[in-house]
Amino acid sequence: MTDKSSDLVQGTLDMLILKTLALEPMHGYGIAVRLEQMSKGVFRPNAGSLFMAIQRLQRDGLIKGEWKSTENNRRAKYYMLTDQGRKRLNSETREWGRQVAAIARILEAS
Amino acid sequence: MSALRSLSDGLRSLFRREQVNRELDEELKGFLEMAAEEKVKQGMNRKDALRAVRLESGNLEVTKETVRSAGWEFVLETCCQDLRYAFRTLRKSPGFTATAIFTLALGIGANTAIFQLLDAVRLRSLPVSAPQSLALVEIKGGNHGFGVSNRDTNLTYPLFEQIRAHQKAFSGVFAWSGSDEVAVGQGSQQRKARVLWLTGNTFAVLGVPPIKGRLFTDQDDRPDCGIQGVVISYGFWQSEFGGRDSAIGSKLLIQGHPAEVLGVTPPDFFGFEVGSNFDLAEPFCSVTAFRPAASVLARRDLFWLTVMGRLKPGWSTEQASAHLDAISPGLFEATEPSAYSTKSQNTYRAFRLAAYPAANGLSDLRETYDASLLLLLGITGLVLLIACANLTNLMLVRAGAREREMSVRLACGASRWRLVRQLLTEGLLLAAGGAFLGLYLARIFGRSILWLLSTERNVLELNLALDWRALLFTASIAVTTCLVFGLAPAFRSSRAEPGDALKSGSRGVTTGLERFSFQRILVVSQIAVSLVLLVGALLFVRSFCNLTTFDPGFREKDILLAFINLEPMHLTDIEQYPTVIRDLLAQIRSLPGVESAATSTHVPLDGSSWTLGLQIDSREGWSKFTWVSPGYFETMQIALLTGRDFNDRDTQASPHVAIVNEAFVQKYLNGANPIGRTFRSVVEPGYPSTDYEIVGVVKNTKYAGLREETPPESFGAASQFPAFGPWFSIFLRSSSPPSVVFSALRAKINELNPEIRSDFSVFRKDIENRLIRERMMALLSGFFGALAGLLTMIGLYGVISYIVVTRQNEIGVRMALGASRGNIVGMVLRQTVVLLALGTALGAASAVAVTRGVSSLLFGLQPDDPASFIGASILLIAVALIASFLPARRASRVDPMVALRYE
């Protein structure tokens, strides 16, 4: 099994997807590849968890999808951030930074 | 916003499932292909690349399922699946389904019916605006039988007028009285109608609007108004006028007086007393037109009104009570009745008024049936519990049989929660079916109970229409029962270890002891609860038998009653009544089939009572007083112990004589020879203080009711009755069929004077009709007790059968090794005996605790009546042994070879 996303802290996948989409609209596979590239191969979500997260984000109104054709002339659903999604990404990034710093301080304390 | 989108997306995927699936499909496929292309670019051939991608991302269908399961609509979808599946499973075993639904329907139906009765009698409030601010005005503690009263909480009309004039707590006070029947129509069309007397402001204060025409106002209630207008009830409007508009303004003949129909009350206004509706309403000022003989409105000793008021805003019932208490002395002083002894008048002046909440109206029914109905609700609740236990058992047995199915589903990856839900859905479906059928049965039960409680003279009318309360009640018992009988088996079977069950194959060798023990606990509790119900049933049945076979001191068999009203003869001279009565009696005695006849001022056991104070040898006391004509004791077959009966020489002019009962002699004469002794009665209006000489002693007879001790009673001669009026009752003994005697009587009375009004009844039937509550309790508790026994029998049969089936191999081995059939039957029955012993002991203990509370409803026996306990136990044990003997015998017929080959 190559499902490395299970190593992800619960809920962070959503945040990471939002981050990848912040740069440009992208389809499902593109998101997976970008996540892998940006994490240098550490995170490689499988299709199931990826699309579950996408559906969740879509239901929450953080992203929206649109069918377009790819550079290879294939139809694919491209997802993009909504305003709400952008706001959420900002707040989550801040919160994440705060938490990581706090955890780091605890771990370094000993 | 996002919730809205989630909802719309979910709905879209529910209703346009095809399209949503296709999109998801396309997206996932695109994903895979793009991944494969990537690999091809890196140098793989296309086939290998696709394979690699498939391996990496797993089964496409599973992925789709995972994605889909994230939405809320998925839960809904699986629920529908569960429902469909449950439907299919239940349809596959129609026997089980029918038994389950019918058992539940019986339980739920009985509960709902009793609840509806209770609701109608007790919980529903008066159908008027803001019933919470209504209050009853009563004498604190009642009037202790002072004067003449319908109910000891009633007030006199002069007192009401005083209250109306002086109170400050209410924005309006009104009064009504509703125990009269009047004749409506003419000639052969004449029939009786129940009339409600009320003050003119009643409808306005209550806030009851007319649905046709107008209702009374204060203008209609002027002194000596005669009979002008009448307001009719919705029911009377329907039955008498067919609900036609032309009814308004038409003339209705009431006691021969024409009255204009003014208006109709709304359909839900039943009057004030739950269970007794009214036909006509008349203002109090019309009373004098109906009763010319005496002005009842002026009488200060006639307590016949119920008084209510609407509290002023900001006033509480307590404040109103305090206010009434404060003004009471003035009110009672102003209305003090004359012609009473000083002692009685002091009692009257000490009365105090108080206010009580009146939102639910008042009801004799409530007082009479409250305890009984609550008890019945408890009984039906227990029956439902037994039914649930049975279903749990059945479901457990089914769960055992479906263990393999469950294991397979678990092995295939179904979650345990999903299995529990599946079984609960089955339970819910059964409960819903039971509830629907139960609602239908509830109507039948409810009607039957009303029919049981109604008599020819008193037809009970209650609104038993389904309302939200009854529906809520039924729904909540349905859900509770579903949980009760569905949960245990559900958790049980979902606990199955897939491996174990699959390994053990279909032989069920590993079915552990644990499940049996749970089923055993169920059966033991069923037996215990049934025993409680059976003991209760026997107590009520025996108590009813005691009442019907109890010797009241007279022979009520073959006694017929005739109630005579001479008022319509309009005799100018009241002194003529005795002559008319004497003639009538002589005529009746000469009728063929009539053995003897006599008049009396009191009908025993009808609940009424007449008490006078008395003085005997400077001792003060009291006695019940009844005036009877010569031949009364002979007619009633009451033994005359010493002295003589009354005769024609006892007249108004001769010294007044009395015949007393044993209780009188015991209480006032210490058993000394009473003949020739005298006592003096204490004065009351219409009853001057009189010296009586005792000329005879009769055996004790029951007076107002079967349950009371016999009070001291004095009989006076009818010819010396000081307060004779146009009404009296004739007792006659006849062994001919009542209908024959009645028609002969009617003909004879008609021949004498067609104006005389008469009404007949069979004394024994009247007495039985007063035992309706007891009859209802005996019948219903008997029915439910039998039902509980039957359900327990079925449950026990099921469990023992199941145990026998699972032990078939073992039994085969035992028989192969030489066990006899008797041994096998004994072995199985031993199990029952253990269960029975436990259940009966537990049941008897709880019955002792529970039945103590019903002693007030019993007659002639104690709640720990040994005969009822032993009877119930024997009945239950017999039933249980039969229920387990059948499977035991089947077990003993097992062919050892067949059982062993199975292995």
3-state secondary structure B208-245: CCCCEECCCCHHHCCCCCCCCEEEECHHHHHHHHCCCH
Reply yes or no on whether the pLDDT at B889 is more than 50.
yes
**Are B180 and B256 part of one and the same domain?**
yes
Do residue B31 and residue A47 have CB atoms under 8 angstroms apart? yes
Do residue B24 and residue A51 have CB atoms under 8 angstroms apart? yes
Question: Sorting pLDDT into bands at 50, 70 and 90, what band is B232?
Answer: very high
pLDDT reported for residue B267: 83
Which pLDDT tens digit goes with each residue over B91-110?
Answer: 888 877 888 888 888 888 88
Q: What is the dihedral of CA B41, B46, B49, B53, to 10 degrees?
A: 110
Q: Is the CB of residue B703 less than 8 Å from the CB of residue B604?
A: yes
Q: Does A6 touch chain B (CB under 8 A)?
A: no
Q: Indicate the length of chain A as a whole number.
A: 110
Domain boundaries, chain A: 4-109
CATH number of the domain at A4-109, please? 1.10.10.10
Tokens of B298: 């002026």
Q: Cα–Cα–Cα angle for B432, B436, B439, nearest 5°?
A: 135
Closest CA to B803 of B396, B392, B407: B396
Number of neighbouring beta carbons within 10 Å of residue B798: 20
Which of A2, A29, A56 has its CB closest to that of B31? Answer: A29
Task: Please say which residue of B324, B359, B394 terminates a domain.
Answer: B359
Q: Is the CB of residue A72 less than 8 Å from the CB of residue A33?
A: no
Residue B411 and residue B353: Cα distance in Å, rounded? 78
Average of per-residue pLDDT across B734-746: 89
Q: What is the ipTM of this complex?
A: 0.82
Closest CA to A53 of A24, A90, A83, A85: A85
Task: Please say which residue of B755, B786, B813 terminates a domain.
Answer: B755
Residue B431 and residue B427: Cα distance in Å, rounded? 6
Q: Does B562 fall in a domain?
A: no
Amino acid found at B15: F
**Are B642 and B738 part of one and the same domain?**
yes
pLDDT reported for residue B507: 46
Residues of B with Cβ-Cβ distance to A71 under 8 angstroms: none
**Are B23 and B103 part of one and the same domain?**
no
**Are B50 and B163 part of one and the same domain?**
no
Highest mean pLDDT among B8-17, B462-471, B752-761: B752-761
Q: What is the dihedral of CA B158, B164, B170, B174, to 10 degrees?
A: 60
Q: Does A58 touch chain B (CB under 8 A)?
A: yes
- Which residue of chain B comes nearest to A82, CA vs CA? B2
Reply yes or no on whether the pLDDT at B482 is more than 90.
no
Task: Please say which residue of B337, B359, B381 terminates a domain.
Answer: B359
Closest CA to B285 of B209, B349, B201: B201
pLDDT reported for residue B184: 84
Residue B822 and residue B892: Cα distance in Å, rounded? 8
Using an 8 Å CB-CB cutoff, list residues of chain B that contact chain A.
1-2, 5-6, 9-10, 23-24, 26-28, 30-35, 37-38, 56-58, 62-63, 66-67, 70-71
Question: Sorting pLDDT into bands at 50, 70 and 90, what band is B391?
Answer: confident
Which pLDDT tens digit goes with each residue over B111-161?
Answer: 888 888 877 776 666 777 788 888 889 888 887 778 777 777 788 999 999
**Are B499 and B453 part of one and the same domain?**
yes
Q: Does B809 fall in a domain?
A: yes
C-alpha distance from residue B190 to each of A54, B182, B184, B247, B562 (Å): 84, 10, 6, 18, 19
pLDDT reported for residue B658: 94
Which pLDDT tens digit goes with each residue over B240-299?
Answer: 888 888 889 898 888 878 889 999 998 888 777 766 678 899 998 888 777 665 577 888
Reply yes or no on whether the pLDDT at B370 is more than 80.
no
**Are B142 and B191 part of one and the same domain?**
yes
**Are B810 and B862 part of one and the same domain?**
yes
- Which residue of chain A comes nearest to B11, CA vs CA? A59
Q: Does B717 fall in a domain?
A: yes
Question: Tokens 């529990």 belong to which residue?
Answer: B420
Q: Is the CB of residue B684 less than 8 Å from the CB of residue B344?
A: yes
Which of B37, B38, B71 has its CB closest to that of A55? Answer: B71
User: Cβ neighbours of residue A13 under 8 Å, at least 6 residues apart?
Assistant: A5, A45, A49, A50, A53
Number of neighbouring beta carbons within 10 Å of residue A29: 23
Burial class (CB in 10 A: 0-12, 13-18, 19+), B338: exposed
Residue B265 and residue B217: Cα distance in Å, rounded? 14
Q: Residue B389 belongs to what domain range?
A: 75-124+369-511
**Are B275 and B137 part of one and the same domain?**
yes
Which of A2, A49, A62 has its CB closest to that of B56? Answer: A2
**Are B863 and B805 part of one and the same domain?**
yes
Q: Is the CB of residue B765 less than 8 Å from the CB of residue B603?
A: no
Asked which of B186-200, B632-646, B685-699, B842-856 is least confident by mean pLDDT, the reply is B186-200
Do residue B23 and residue A77 have CB atoms under 8 angstroms apart? yes
**Are B407 and B449 part of one and the same domain?**
yes
Residue A24 and residue A4: Cα distance in Å, rounded? 24
Residue B666 and residue B649: Cα distance in Å, rounded? 29
pLDDT reported for residue B815: 84
**Are B497 and B530 part of one and the same domain?**
no
Which pLDDT tens digit goes with each residue over B774-830?
Answer: 887 888 888 888 888 888 888 788 778 877 777 777 888 888 888 888 888 888 888
Which pLDDT tens digit goes with each residue over B710-729?
Answer: 999 999 998 888 877 777 88
Task: Report the number of distinct structural domains present in chain B.
Answer: 5
Question: Sorting pLDDT into bands at 50, 70 and 90, what band is B505?
Answer: very low
**Are B344 and B374 part of one and the same domain?**
no
